[in-house]
Amino acid sequence: AQKVTQAQTEISVVEKEDVTLDCVYETRDTTYYLFWYKQPPSGELVFLIRRNSFDEQNEISGRYSWNFQKSTSSFNFTITASQVVDSAVYFCALRGGEAGSYQLTFGKGTKLSVIP
Amino acid sequence: KAGVTQTPRYLIKTRGQQVTLSCSPISGHRSVSWYQQTPGQGLQFLFEYFSETQRNKGNFPGRFSGRQFSNSRSEMNVSTLELGDSALYLCASSYGGKETQYFGPGTRLLVL
């Protein structure tokens, strides 16, 4: 069975602070895929990033960066210089590598509030 | 390209009724997945369709069903609605299933 744990239920930061959202996963698959999605109050899940298990290179995109560590089964997400528009619920998700089995397993989400 | 669209956006039903939700995937995408989001259970996978065939199904009762048409549009149906079916239903599409899934705005269902 696959599992994704986001231990932080809610985080509040003051604008311009850096914030890291934690994600820990469990899977028996040797190949798997990790995702981060953002859900603003409107409800739509917005895709942010996808990482493959065989590629541990960390990635930076503007104010966003991701730290994938296979040794600790973690895929953490950092927002640098947070802005009010970053306020949303962030979900980490996992998909196994088995052919024909493409459903996403989501964590419970972390609600981020950026206070001006 | 237009994103994933879902209709209706909001729905109010009473217990015992049935409901049909619609999802139009991104043009060219052939896989459509459905998820249920509730405050208690979070995001849970319902089922996935590809080329008009259900390829995977989550752990939901038979009251939840779906189908996919030849143009890749998908519908899901919930029969004999229960209060616990109140949720945000999200549809996601991808090219073949194994690629990144892109989500629609969801349908908020309230069962009274």
pLDDT tens across B18-59, in order? 999 999 999 999 999 999 999 999 999 999 999 999 999 999
Q: Do B55 and A91 touch (CB under 8 A)?
A: no
Give me the residue label for tokens 């231990």.
A7
d(CA B42, CA B38): 5
Give me the residue label for tokens 């409107």.
A42
- In degrees, rounded to 5, the angle at the alpha carbon of residue A87 between the alpha carbons of residues B39 and A36 is 70
HSE on the CB side for A79, CA within 13 Å?
Answer: 24
List beta partners, residue B66. Answer: B76
> Residue A77, class by beta-carbon neighbours within 10 Å (0-12 exposed, 13-18 middle, 19+ buried)?
buried
Count other C-beta atoms under 10 Å from residue B109's C-beta: 20
Interface test with B, best of A29, A36, A39, A103 (most B CBs within 10 A): A103
A40: pLDDT confidence band, cut at 50, 70 and 90? very high
Give me the residue label for tokens 């995977």.
B56
Residue B80 has pLDDT above 80, yes or no: yes
List beta partners, residue B37. Answer: B43, B88
Q: How far is B1 from chain A (nearest CA, A)?
A: 15
Across the interface, of A35, A43, A99, the residue whose CB is closest to B105 is A43
**Which pLDDT score is estimated for B49?**
95
Q: Which of B65, B86, B43, B61 is nearest to A6 (CA)?
A: B43
Helix (H) or strand (E) run with residue B84 in it: none
